[in-house]
């Protein structure tokens, strides 16, 4: 894992320099503290911050090809690089390192854009072709690794994090986009390529783009999510489970490839337990595991973690999170997330990655992705029940199934049958592309009452950000539509970003995701829904696949999604001093996003009673995170004078 940044000066104004590259890489040295590399050639500059995992001595970047016409910087890992390397050598390519980075470069030299089809990995890539004066950028299929870009004053800038772009020049505008604020306070994250900052975009997962002296070409899709109309399937349930198991074993084996020790996260849930058990049973990798526990028993899963630790005999380490721990770390979490968030859930993961680093580990395997691709979320179960009720709308028994939803929530919307039917809109149009998500969005949009009139007006003046998805979802059933949205939007733009890459890389930790191996995702897309969720048994096919390598109580455990205390982390004995500043009348009005009177009422409500409902929790965390973001990324953002970096290499043609 690493951090990358660079520029392309269209006008060859020489307004960018080696110092520009130093300024861009300086604020993301947490992504790669082991060494730094730079290339400045004419109008193009590349910068790299290295976290050494493969070829510790020789894998310095930028790396060039045989005739020094191509240069690459790369953030990520290519897990099948040994096999690709052997094939490329047989075709006459000459290698000077043992790194996976060089494999990408020679593959691009031979296949161009189509090299992406051969890569099994998680990556953000930048390749400069000096002969064609072009810059090629690409991002992995699922969006595990980030890549942002902007164009300003005749130059194109890109980087692993937005703070690199803002550090390129003080004249680059820094403004929060009200439209994306509205999306985040509805969907939890941006819906597409736009970021929270006006003019800053992300290269979407599974896309590539080119930059030349003529400008920026429109990003092109090279891989799409495989969800399609549900079909009976060609295999039996057992055969699908066996196929999934074989793919997962191979995905885990590939992701253990490293020249440094590899650990694993162990939450106590099915997904991480499956990954750690596969490591134990099918590899010789020493099993060191890490987990989060909570002082608040409502969120704690230490009992299930202990079950797995004893079952597998792992060398296990825990970080215990209190309300105060979450509140103390929260501003730093927002600095790394670079976006408003509606829950505190990323914060314990930030503290967990710090624990991993303290144990001298750089790489961990995690269980993210299983819920999205194998039908694990309650929202899928919820949609299935709502569709079942619609098929016999006069039934008095079918609505009773709603009581099966969200048993772990103290304020569950299923506490009253009448309220549940209204909340879940059991009479909604099942052909609506977003049928599954409408009830949830109705709750989150309740937070919009805190926006200023100007924010609401500017947010409503642009088209719906989900309009591009309407055509894609046509022809899919409600279950696959829900899966697609979870993978395309929530997983890529929230789970893998705010909870994944950013929280791990804040402490120089690389997360690896076996469930997001593209072969596993493509295979899961072909599994009939009836096997993914058997009646209301979520991730049924995964449970079948790993039933003999996990304790029975882990297999049969009722799903408890990962959550962390929200409002209760900031009030009572844990109330941090910084609330007075970030939520002050002067700063709230200066940011111009929220009505201070409404914010003040919410704070009084929170002080009166620590635990609140969904809307209040999301509103408070969203408002606080937005205010912190405004302060750190706009009001007080400074382009730091680059410090003297150790292990620096400057290369050129």
Reported as a single tens digit per residue, the pLDDT across 334-383 is 999 999 999 999 999 999 999 999 999 999 999 999 999 999 998 998 88
Residues 97 and 211 in one domain: yes
> Is 618 or 396 the better-scoring residue by pLDDT?
618
Q: In this predicted structure, what is the pLDDT of residue 417?
A: 61
Q: What share of the chain in percent tops pLDDT 90?
A: 78
CA distance 458 to 182: 10
Residues 282 and 408 in one domain: no
Task: State how beta strands 363-365 and 2-9 pair.
Answer: unpaired
Residues 216 and 302 in one domain: no
Q: Which two tokens stand for residue 589?
A: 């009005």
What is the length of the chain?
A: 653
Exposure on the CB side of residue 415, measured as CA atoms within 13 A: 6
Q: Which two tokens stand for residue 505?
A: 């890389």
Structure-token match 């691709």, residue found: 373
Residues 43 and 140 in one domain: yes
Best CA proximity match to 593, nearest among 194, 178, 195: 178
CA distance 272 to 327: 26
Helix, strand or coil for residue 82?
helix
In this prediction, residues 102-126 reach a mean pLDDT of: 97
242 is a domain residue: no
Q: In this predicted structure, what is the pLDDT of residue 385?
A: 86
DSSP track, 226-284: ---S----SS-HHHHHHHHHHHHHHHHHHHT--SS-EEEE--SSHHHHHHHHHHHHH--
CA distance 122 to 151: 25
In this prediction, residues 476-501 reach a mean pLDDT of: 94
Residues 186 and 265 in one domain: no
CA distance 274 to 280: 10
Instruction: Judge whether residue 51 has pLDDT over 70.
Output: yes
Cα torsion 66, 71, 73, 78 to 10°: value is -40
Residues 215 and 266 in one domain: no
530 is a domain residue: no
Residues 304 and 425 in one domain: no
Q: What is the mean pLDDT of the chain?
A: 92
CA distance 586 to 602: 17
Task: State how beta strands 155-159 and 2-9 pair.
Answer: antiparallel
245 is a domain residue: no
- Contacts with 626 (C-beta within 8 Å, 6 or more apart), sequence order: 176, 181, 340, 591, 593, 594
- pLDDT digits 0-9 by tens, 54-67: 877 778 899 999 99
- Contacts with 281 (C-beta within 8 Å, 6 or more apart), sequence order: 549
Best CA proximity match to 382, nearest among 430, 341, 313, 337: 430
Phi, psi angles (nearest 5°) of residue 202? -110, 145
Q: Which two tokens stand for residue 295?
A: 């002082």
How distant, in Å, are the alpha carbons of 77, 207, 446, 562 from that of 114?
18, 12, 45, 38
Residues 346 and 203 in one domain: no
Q: Which two tokens stand for residue 254?
A: 């590939």
Instruction: Judge whether residue 611 has pLDDT over 80.
Output: no
Residues 128 and 163 in one domain: yes
Residues 57 and 166 in one domain: yes
Phi, psi angles (nearest 5°) of residue 109? -60, -35
162 is a domain residue: yes
For residue 25, the domain's CATH number is 3.60.20.10
Instruction: Give residue 502's domain range.
Output: 250-368+497-522+550-555
Give the number of domains in the chain: 4
650 is a domain residue: no
CA distance 94 to 630: 49
Residues 432 and 581 in one domain: no
608 is a domain residue: yes
Residues 70 and 219 in one domain: yes
- pLDDT digits 0-9 by tens, 448-472: 999 999 999 988 866 567 878 888 8
For residue 266, the domain's CATH number is 3.40.50.620
CA-based torsion, 233, 235, 239, 242: positive or negative:
negative
Q: Is the pTM of this model over 0.85?
A: yes
572 is a domain residue: yes
- Contacts with 623 (C-beta within 8 Å, 6 or more apart), sequence order: 450, 583, 594, 599, 602
CA distance 60 to 39: 12
Helix, strand or coil for residue 483?
helix
Question: Angle, to 10 degrees, between the axis of helix 100-111 and the axis of helix 81-90?
Answer: 50
């Amino acid at each position: 894992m690493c951090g990358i940044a660079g520029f392309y000066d269209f006008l060859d104004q020489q307004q960018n320099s080696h110092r520009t590259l130093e300024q861009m890489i300086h604020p993301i040295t947490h992504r790669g503290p082991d060494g730094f590399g730079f290339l400045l050639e004419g109008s193009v500059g590349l910068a790299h911050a290295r976290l050494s995992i493969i070829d510790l001595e020789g894998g310095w970047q930028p790396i060039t090809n045989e005739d020094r016409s191509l240069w690459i910087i790369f953030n990520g890992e290519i897990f099948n690089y040994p096999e690709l390397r052997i094939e490329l050598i047989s075709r006459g390519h000459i290698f000077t390192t043992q790194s996976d980075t060089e494999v990408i470069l020679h593959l691009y030299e031979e296949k161009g854009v189509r090299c992406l089809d051969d890569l099994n990995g998680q990556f953000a890539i930048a390749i400069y072709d000096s002969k064609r004066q072009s810059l090629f950028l690409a991002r992995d299929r699922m969006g595990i690794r980030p890549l942002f870009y902007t164009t300003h004053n005749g130059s194109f800038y890109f980087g692993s994090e937005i703070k690199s772009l803002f550090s390129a020049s003080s004249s680059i505008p820094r403004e929060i986009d009200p439209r994306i604020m509205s999306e985040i306070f509805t969907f939890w994250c941006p819906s597409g390529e736009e970021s929270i900052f006006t003019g800053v975009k992300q290269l979407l997962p599974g896309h590539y783009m080119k930059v030349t002296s003529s400008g920026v070409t429109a990003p092109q899709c090279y891989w799409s999510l495989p969800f399609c109309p549900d079909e009976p399937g060609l295999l039996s349930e057992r055969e699908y489970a066996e196929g999934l198991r074989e793919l997962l074993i191979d995905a885990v084996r590939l992701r253990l490839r490293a020249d440094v020790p590899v650990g694993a996260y162990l939450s106590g849930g099915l997904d991480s337990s499956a990954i750690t058990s596969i490591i134990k049973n099918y590899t010789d990798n020493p099993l060191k595991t890490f987990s989060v526990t909570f002082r608040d028993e409502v969120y704690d899963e230490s009992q299930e973690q202990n079950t797995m630790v004893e079952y597998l005999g792992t060398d296990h380490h825990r970080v215990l999170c209190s309300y105060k721990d979450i509140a103390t770390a929260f501003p730093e979490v927002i600095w790394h997330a670079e976006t408003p968030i509606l829950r505190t859930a990323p914060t314990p993961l930030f503290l967990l990655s710090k624990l991993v680093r303290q144990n001298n580990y750089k790489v961990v395997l995690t269980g993210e992705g299983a819920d999205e691709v194998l039908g694990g979320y309650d929202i899928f179960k919820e949609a299935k029940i709502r569709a079942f009720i619609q098929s016999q709308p006069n039934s008095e028994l079918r609505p009773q199934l709603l009581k099966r939803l969200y048993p772990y929530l103290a304020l569950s919307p299923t506490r009253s049958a009448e309220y549940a039917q209204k909340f879940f809109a059991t009479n909604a149009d099942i052909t609506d592309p977003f049928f599954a998500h409408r009830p949830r969005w109705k709750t989150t949009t309740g937070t919009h009452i805190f926006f200023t009139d100007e924010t609401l007006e500017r947010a409503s003046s642009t088209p719906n950000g989900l309009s591009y998805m309407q055509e894609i979802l046509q022809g899919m059933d409600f279950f696959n539509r829900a899966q697609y949205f979870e993978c395309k939007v929530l997983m890529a733009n929230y789970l893998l970003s705010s909870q994944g890459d950013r929280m791990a890389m804040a402490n120089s930790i690389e997360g690896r995701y076996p469930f997001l191996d593209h072969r596993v995702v493509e295979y899961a897309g072909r599994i009939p829904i009836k096997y993914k969720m058997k009646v209301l048994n979520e991730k049924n096919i995964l449970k079948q696949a790993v039933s003999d390598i996990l304790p029975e109580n882990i297999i049969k455990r009722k799903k408890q999604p990962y959550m962390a205390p929200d409002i209760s982390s900031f009030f009572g004995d844990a109330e941090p001093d910084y609330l007075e500043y970030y939520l002050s009348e002067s700063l709230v009005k200066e940011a111009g996003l929220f009505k201070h009177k409404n914010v003040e009422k919410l704070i009084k409500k929170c002080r009166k009673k620590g635990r609140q409902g969904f809307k209040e929790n999301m509103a408070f965390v969203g408002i606080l995170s937005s205010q912190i973001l405004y302060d750190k990324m706009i009001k007080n953002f400074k382009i730091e004078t680059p410090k003297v970096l150790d292990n620096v290499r400057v290369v050129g043609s």
